[in-house]
Amino acid sequence: MVFTASPSPLMQSNSSFAPSSSSRFSFSTTPSYCAFPPRRIATPRTGPSPAQAQAQAQAKEAKLWGGRFKEGVTDAVERFTESISFDKQLYKQDIKGSRAHASMLAHQGLISESDRDSILEGLEKIERRIENGEFSWRADREDVHMNIEAALTDMIGEPAKKLHTARSRNDQVQTDFRLWCRDAIDGILVSMKQLQVSLLTLALRNEGLIVPGYTHLQRAQPVLLQHLLLAYVEEIERDAGRLVDCRARMNFCPLGACALAGTGLPIDRFMTSEALGFTAPLRNSIDAVSDRDFVLEFLSANAITAVHLSRLGEEWVLWASEEFGFITPSDSVSTGSSIMPQKKNPDPMELVRGKSARVIGDLVTLLTLCKGLPHAYNRDLQEDKEPVFDSVKTILGMLEVSAEFALNISFNLERIQKALPAGHLDATTLADYLVNKGVPFRTSHDIAGKSVALCTLKNCQLLDLSLDELRSINPVFEEDVYDFLGVENAIQKFVSYGSTGSACVASQIEYWMKKLEME
């Protein structure tokens, strides 16, 4: 049998994939309606001559590190290696570190006080120009450090060339990055507290509201809504604690470690460390420039926070569905459908759930980046900035919109009340009743289970069973059993520390109001 087919675009463009004349298959040369037009073969472009390349290289600004090089880098290399497009975010920290370094150099007699003053004045002008949008960031100056130093040299001349004394870009970037991460943590902690306040405000608005508690996404026991909301407040508090711990460990100064081995010049690393608000200088100069564990810990803390927020988002997305109907988001935090006019979607919390993947991915990127690097500094580490910037921006957005959403939802009391009877949420409380009567828990569990089975057969609630029906299962039951049945009674029977009992939850509310300064 012979099959006839039109040639694929791949076969048209690459003869090495075409069948030979001896093939069992023959291909028609008539193009089908979906065939691509023949590809034009472009004439290869020739690069500049050696003389032209040398002239182009000489026309570029000489690199600050270019003393031993006869040629400049190509445009492709320059584009590929620049980091100014993203690390210019570090300008405040870079200028702050340079101020501290210049002051230390003058104190140690490595530069004159006059040079120090010129440097400090020039840095102040550059900072103002950046903040006013008047600073020209140049890709040929590679990164934020070289841009600022080159601009300072253009501005004040020779004194600027002394600023890099006893300093490498390796320790400089580490210092800038630690300062930036430290500032970012402070900002995230503020947003975390704002979300906690929003959740506690929502809890205060819904005092006494009982909702079904779930395990395995199956109805389990009744809980106070306040208790559930405070669970998220507790999780965020631990998230904040991880960031506080991370901040304490990252708050050590790399400045003065230079490239990796330190310096033979008489610098005072303790002076610069104190000026920048660090706890102390890092003890080992190789460790100071080569490790990024402070970033990994930061991104790990962010990832855990993102997972907590994603779970909150998932719960509220479910509760806003027609199937649950427990909450109604206001129009101000909802979106509609482009085709279905009836839709009202809790999109912000869906995106909170979705964006958690980005934050987790940023952590995985950094872990993968660092796993195979030898000591000390390697250029691969230039790639550590963007995932961190993305993680911080994303987690701040997630925290902000979650707080906003919490303040713009209402709980549908009637729907929740109708939902509460389903699932025999008081069965465990019934077992506790039996334990109080001296029945071993495993036996109590069995008796309560048989009681639920009878309810299922009769299509009723435990509270609806007569005393005779309960005694038919086990004679231990007395009239006081009805004080334990029904979700309202069940809630009142929880007395253990940290439980959903009304008194315990009231104590939790009081604790968090004091801690969050809401009184």
At 184-240, the pLDDT tens digits run 999 999 999 999 999 999 999 999 999 999 999 999 999 999 999 999 999 999 999
> Could you report how far apart the first and last alpha carbons of the chain are, in Å?
87
Supply angle C-alpha 365, 370, 376, rounded to 5: 150
451 neighbors 462 (Cβ within 8 angstroms): yes
Considering just the CA atoms, what is the radius of gyration of the chain in Å? Answer: 34
Q: What is the largest CA-CA distance in the chain?
A: 106
Query: If you average pLDDT over residues 247-254, what whole number do you get?
Result: 98
Q: What is the mean pLDDT of the chain?
A: 87
Same fold, 83-165 and 170-417: no
- pLDDT of residue 24 exceeding 50, the answer is no
With bands split at pLDDT 50, 70 and 90, how would you rate the model's confidence at 36? very low
Least confident of 48-62, 362-376, 404-418, 468-482: 48-62
Dist CA 415 CA 320 (whole Å): 12
Which tokens belong to 256?
């003065």
What pLDDT was estimated at residue 92?
97
Render pLDDT for 482-512 as a digit per residue (tens, 0 to 9): 999 999 999 999 999 999 999 999 999 999 9
Dist CA 29 CA 360 (whole Å): 51
Residues paired with residue 280 on neighbouring β-strands, in sequence order: 252
Supply angle C-alpha 296, 288, 242, rounded to 5: 30
What pLDDT was estimated at residue 382?
79
- pLDDT of residue 5 exceeding 80, the answer is no
Query: If you average pLDDT over residues 312-322, what whole number do you get?
Result: 95
What pLDDT was estimated at residue 67?
56
- pLDDT of residue 443 exceeding 90, the answer is yes
Render pLDDT for 123-176 as a digit per residue (tens, 0 to 9): 999 999 999 999 999 988 888 989 999 999 999 999 999 999 999 999 999 999
Q: Where are the domains of the chain?
A: 83-165, 170-417, 419-516
CATH T-level assignment (fold) for domain 419-516: Ribonucleotide Reductase Protein R1; domain 1 (1.10.40)
What pLDDT was estimated at residue 341?
79
- pLDDT of residue 21 exceeding 50, the answer is no
Query: If you average pLDDT over residues 70-89, what whole number do you get?
Result: 74
What pLDDT was estimated at residue 402?
97
Which tokens belong to 45?
């472009």
With bands split at pLDDT 50, 70 and 90, how would you rate the model's confidence at 333? confident
What pLDDT was estimated at residue 386?
92
Query: If you average pLDDT over residues 467-482, what whole number do you get?
Result: 96
Return the higher-pLDDT residue of 83 and 121.
121
What pLDDT was estimated at residue 65?
44
pTM: 0.83
> Are β-strands 218-224 and 210-215 bridged in parallel, bridged antiparallel, or unpaired?
antiparallel
Least confident of 72-76, 307-311, 365-369: 72-76
Architecture, CATH, for domain 170-417: Up-down Bundle (1.20)
**Alpha-helical segments (H) within 337-436:** 347-370, 385-406, 413-419, 427-436
- pLDDT of residue 58 exceeding 60, the answer is no
Task: Please report which helix (H) or strand (E) contains residue 485, including its range.
Answer: none
147 neighbors 141 (Cβ within 8 angstroms): yes
To 10 degrees, what angle do helices 441-458 and 427-436 make? Answer: 140
- pLDDT of residue 34 exceeding 90, the answer is no
- Contacts with 275 (C-beta within 8 Å, 6 or more apart), sequence order: 99, 100, 103, 104
CATH T-level assignment (fold) for domain 83-165: Fumarase C; Chain B, domain 1 (1.10.275)
Render pLDDT for 279-314 as a digit per residue (tens, 0 to 9): 999 999 999 999 899 999 999 999 999 999 999 999
Tell me how many helices (H) and strands (E) the chain has.
Answer: 20, 8
Q: Is 216 a catalytic residue?
A: yes
With bands split at pLDDT 50, 70 and 90, how would you rate the model's confidence at 81? low
In Å, how far are 134, 169, 183, 199, 406 from 148, measured between CA atoms?
13, 12, 21, 44, 43
What pLDDT was estimated at residue 83?
75
361 neighbors 393 (Cβ within 8 angstroms): no
**Alpha-helical segments (H) within 251-337:** 269-275, 285-290, 293-319
Task: Please report which helix (H) or strand (E) contains residue 458, including its range.
Answer: helix 441-458
398 neighbors 352 (Cβ within 8 angstroms): yes
444 neighbors 431 (Cβ within 8 angstroms): yes
Dist CA 230 CA 509 (whole Å): 8
What pLDDT was estimated at residue 51?
52
The secondary structure of 175-238 as a DSSP string is HHHHHHHHHHHHHHHHHHHHHHHHHHHHHHHTTT-EEEEEETTEEEEEEEHHHHHHHHHHHHHH
Render pLDDT for 422-439 as a digit per residue (tens, 0 to 9): 889 999 999 999 999 999
In Å, how far are 165, 266, 495 from 109, measured between CA atoms?
12, 9, 69
Which tokens belong to 264?
């033979």
With bands split at pLDDT 50, 70 and 90, how would you rate the model's confidence at 85? confident
Q: Is 451 a catalytic residue?
A: no
Catalytic residue among 136, 216, 332, 496: 216
Catalytic residue among 32, 337, 410, 507: 337
Task: Please report which helix (H) or strand (E) contains residue 493, including its range.
Answer: helix 487-493
- pLDDT of residue 50 exceeding 60, the answer is no
